[in-house]
Structure 1
Amino acid sequence: MGFPNWVDLILSLPAVLWAITFHEYCHGYVAYRLGDDTALRSGRLTLNPLAHLDPIGALMLLIFRFGWAKPVPISTRNFSNPRRDLVLVSLAGAVGNLITAVVCALLVRIFPAIFLSNIALSRFILLMIMINVGLAVFNLLPIPPLDGSRILYVLLPPKAMNVYFYLERYGIFLILILVMLGVVQAVMAPVTMAIFRIML
C-alpha cells in the first residue's frame, strides 16, 4: 500500500476525524444505553474529535487507511449482562463506521451525476468509504487492545484471557511490528476491498 498524494491527504483529514470520532462515540453511546455512564462522566460521549484523537493512530489512519483513537473508558460492572454487553459495546464502533460507509455509498448510487461532475467531492466520498471500512475491519482484528480482542475475551477460557490482558500492555508495539511485517495489510486488504466493492 503506497503513500497517498497530497490531495488525498487533504481530503482525508475530515474523513479521518469523522471516522475515529464516530467510532468512539458509538462505543460510548452503546455503553451508556446499556447502563454504563463512564464515557459520559469522562467527557468522551461527544462528537468533538479532540476528545478522541490519538496522534499516532490518526496518522496511521491518514497514511495507511487503518489506525485507532483513544479508547473510550467503560466499566463492565455497570452492565446487567457484562459478557454480552461487552461484545455489543466492542462491535458498536465498527458498526458505526460501516453505517457511515453505507450512507456514503448510497449517496453515490442515488446521486451519481453530482459525484461524476465533481472530482473532489467524488474522491472525498470514496476516501470516506475506504477509511471507514478500513477502520472497522482493522479494529475487529483479534489483537489487544483492538475491539476484536475484547470480543474474544468473552469466548476464551480464563487462562487465555490472562495472556490477552498481559499482551494488552504491549498492544501498540505488537500492532506496529505486525504492520511493519506486512501481516496486518495482508489480512485486511482482501476483506476491505471485498466490502468496498460490494458497497459500490
Structure 2
Amino acid sequence: MLDLLSRDPTAFVITALALILSLTVHEFAHALTADRLGDPTPRAFGRVTLNPAKHLDPFGALLLLFAGFGFAKPVPVSGSRVGRWGMVGVAAAGPLSNVLIAALCALIMKLLPIEALLAFDGAGNPLALKTLGTVLFTVLSINIVLAVFNLIPIPLLDGSRIVGGLVPSLGRSLAQFEAQPFSFLLVMGVILLGREPIGRLLGSVQEWVLRLIF
C-alpha cells in the first residue's frame, strides 16, 4: 500500500511521477504481450503505447491518493485469440515488468558508491537519502508494491488470472464473478479489510530487497 498524502511536496512529486511510470509500463506490458500473441484488441484500443494518458484511470488515481491503493485501466484482451496459456502470459507480463524495473533500480543502487545515494553526518552515520537515492528508492519501492500486490490471487488482480489459467475450472468461476456488476466493489472491500496484512506482506518483501542492496 502507498501513503502519498503524508509526504513532503518534493517526495510527493517524485512518487507521483514514479507511479505514473510504473503503472504505464505495467499496462503496456499486458498490451504488448497480447499484441505479440496475435490479439489485435489492445492495439485497437490504443493500448500498445507508453503514453500514460492511455493507461491511467482518473478514479483509480484519486483512490490511490486517498485510500493508499488504486488501479489503471484494464487492458482489453480476447481470451479466444491468445488462448489459455496466452492469458497466463498476458497476466504475468504486468508484474514481471515491475520486477524488472525494481531489479534495474536495485542493480543501479548496488553498483553506485554509497555516497551517491546517502548523506552522512560528521561521524559517518547515514542521515538521509540524497535526491538520486530517493528517486531510485521510490521507483524500486513502488514497483515492488505493484508486482507483489498484483500477484495476490484475488479476482480482478493479475494473480487470479494466472491461477485461473493454470486451473481452468477456477478460471471460469473467476471470470463469471468478475462479470458481475458488484464484483469491483466487493473486491475493493476485501482489499480494504485486508489492508493491514497486505501491507505487512509488501513491507516484508521491500525490507528483504533493501537488505540485499545495503
| TM-score by shorter chain over 0.5 | yes
Contact 1:24 1:71 in 2 (8 A): yes
Rate the CA distance shift 1:134–1:147 in 2: closer, same or farther, 3 A. Answer: same
Of 41, 45, 60 in structure 2, the residue corresponding to residue 42 of structure 1 is 45
Q: Deviations over 1:106-147 (max 9, x none)?
A: 111222343336722211211100001101111111111111
Query: What does residue 176 of structure 1 align with?
Result: 188
- For the residue of structure 1 that corresponds to 2:166, the secondary structure is coil
Range moving further from structure 2, 125-134 or 113-122? 113-122
1:142 aligns with 2:142: no
- Aligned residue pair count: 197
SS at match of 2:47: coil
After TM superposition, the score normalised by the length of structure 1 is: 0.85
**Residue 95 of structure 1, CA deviation:** 0.6
Alignment match, 2:142: 131
Does residue 167 in structure 1 map to residue 177 in structure 2?
A: yes
Q: Distance in 1 between matches of 2:39 and 2:213?
A: 34
Q: Which runs of 4+ in 1 moved over 6 A?
A: none
Segment drifting more, 189-198 vs 94-103: 189-198
Q: Superposition pairs for residues 178-197 of structure 1, below 5 Å?
A: 178-181=190-193, 182=195, 183-197=197-211
Match of 1:115 among 114, 117, 122: 117
Q: How many angstroms apart in 2 are the aligned matches of 1:99 and 1:23?
A: 11
1:1-200 mapped onto 2 (5 Å cutoff): 4-6=6-8, 7-61=10-64, 66-79=69-82, 82-112=83-113, 113-116=115-118, 119-158=130-169, 160-168=170-178, 169=180, 170-181=182-193, 182=195, 183-198=197-212
Whether the 8 Å contact between 1:16 and 1:58 is mirrored in structure 2 is: no
TM-score, reference length from structure 2: 0.80
Q: Which amino acid aligns with 1:86?
A: M
Q: How big is the shift at 1:185?
A: 2.5
Q: Distance in 1 between matches of 2:111 and 2:201?
A: 32
Q: Would you say the 8 A contact 1:65–1:130 is kept in 2?
A: no
Q: Residues 100 and 31 of structure 1: is their aligned pair in 2 closer, same or farther, counting only changes over 3 Å? A: same
The letter of the residue matching 1:58 is A
Larger C-alpha radius of gyration, 1 or 2?
Answer: 2
Structure 2 counterpart of 1:87, one-letter code: V
For structure 2, the residue ranges without an aligned partner over 5 or more in a row are: 120-128
Equivalent position amino acid for 1:185 in 2: G
C-alpha distance 152-165 of structure 1, shift in aligned 2 (>3 A): same
Which digits, 9 at most, give the CA deviation of each residue in 1:75-125, with x for residues without a partner?
12222xx11111111100111011111111111122234333672221121
